[in-house]
Amino acid sequence: MPIITQAMIDAYDEFTHVTLDRRRFMETLTKLAGSAAAAAAIAPLLAADPAHAAMVAEDDNRLKGEDVTYPGSSGEMKGYLVRQADAAGKLPAVIVVHENRGLNPHIRDVARRIALEGFLVLAPDFMSPLGGTPADDDKARDLFNQLDMARVVADGVATVAFLKGDAASNGKVGAVGFCWGGGTVNALAVAAPDLDAAVAYYGMQPKDAAEIARISAPLLLHYAGLDERINAGIPDFRKELDAEGKEYQIFMYEGVQHAFNNETSEARYNEEAADLAWSRTIAFFKEKLA
């Protein structure tokens, strides 16, 4: 396996979250790797691999999953709805918010993992207003520039309402998101007073103190120790949460990268941190959504 340095990972993070400029990223990676051939070998290890096998198969007979449409804030939303096939009675509900590559196979897999824990799970496609998530990750990332975040948050509020009213739901709804989705979950906690629990993996924090004051859901916040870009916002966020007396937990996973939970990204995934954060997430939802 090629040697992957922190500088290479930082360059990929800047490309995928800030510049969205692949040419510039590859030029930087070539300089860091020493040759174009080495850069070409390293780039796929930094990126998420859509061909990576799912942890829970799409046709797992323990589950019932389907693509659905439901009312968004000002138009139709698409999503993936899944629960245990033999579930009896009403279930606590969880929204899974995707990264900045949209509702891809990895996020569907995450939804199935949560469903196996006894939840009614909906993974919305927040790219629905743009026609839905494209198959190509780079195209999906580029389309994110066209998303209206006010519309995204409003669609999230509509998703909470949809699940609260679903016949299979017990009326309690939580949300978990990763990267862009983590920031979206934080924003949803501000905008949805009836959200019952929020889990953000390495998500951008709300900046405005007045917004933080509006949060009513208990928060579980997972951060990666080497994620300087996102971690820069933690001190102010913590200060405001404390000032407002909000219920929250922050866990820092030292020595791991942004996206440590995503096993399809070979260079950044950390199994130990991912398993620990996952156990905390499921326990949190089982406590708050019962």
Give me the pLDDT at residue 257, please.
95
Q: Is the pLDDT of residue 142 over 90?
A: no
Q: Per residue in 52-75, pLDDT tens?
A: 778 999 999 999 999 999 999 999
- Between helix 36-46 and helix 22-33 the angle, nearest 10°, is 120
Q: Is the pLDDT of residue 44 over 80?
A: yes
33 closest CA partner among 73, 75, 4, 65: 4
Give me the pLDDT at residue 216, please.
97
Q: Per residue in 234-274, pLDDT tens?
A: 999 999 999 999 999 999 999 999 999 999 988 899 999 99
- How far CA 97 is from CA of 61, 153, 182, 216, 270, in Å, comes to 24, 11, 7, 19, 20
Backbone φ and ψ of 215, nearest 5°: -70, 130
CA–CA distance, 279 with 163 (Å, rounded to integer)? 24
Q: Per residue in 70-109, pLDDT tens?
A: 999 999 999 999 999 999 899 999 999 999 989 999 999 9
How many CA within 13 A on the CB side of residue 30? 9
- 140: pLDDT confidence band, cut at 50, 70 and 90? confident
Q: Is the pLDDT of residue 5 over 70?
A: yes
- 16: pLDDT confidence band, cut at 50, 70 and 90? confident
Higher local confidence (pLDDT), 136 or 230? 230
CA–CA distance, 99 with 182 (Å, rounded to integer)? 8
Contact partners, residue 271, CB within 8 Å, separation at least 6: 263
The verdict on pTM exceeding 0.85 is yes
- How far CA 102 is from CA of 50, 133, 213, 244, 249, in Å, comes to 12, 5, 29, 33, 27
Q: What is the mean pLDDT of the chain?
A: 94
- 1: pLDDT confidence band, cut at 50, 70 and 90? low
Higher local confidence (pLDDT), 208 or 142? 208
Give me the pLDDT at residue 276, please.
98
Please name each of the domains of the chain with its CATH number.
6-46 (no CATH), 63-288 (3.40.50.1820)
**In what order do the strands lie in the sheet containing 91-97?**
63-71, 76-84, 120-125, 91-97, 169-178, 197-201, 219-224, 248-253
Q: Could you tell me the maximum CA-CA distance found in the chain, to the nearest angstrom?
A: 59
Mean pLDDT within 177-187: 98
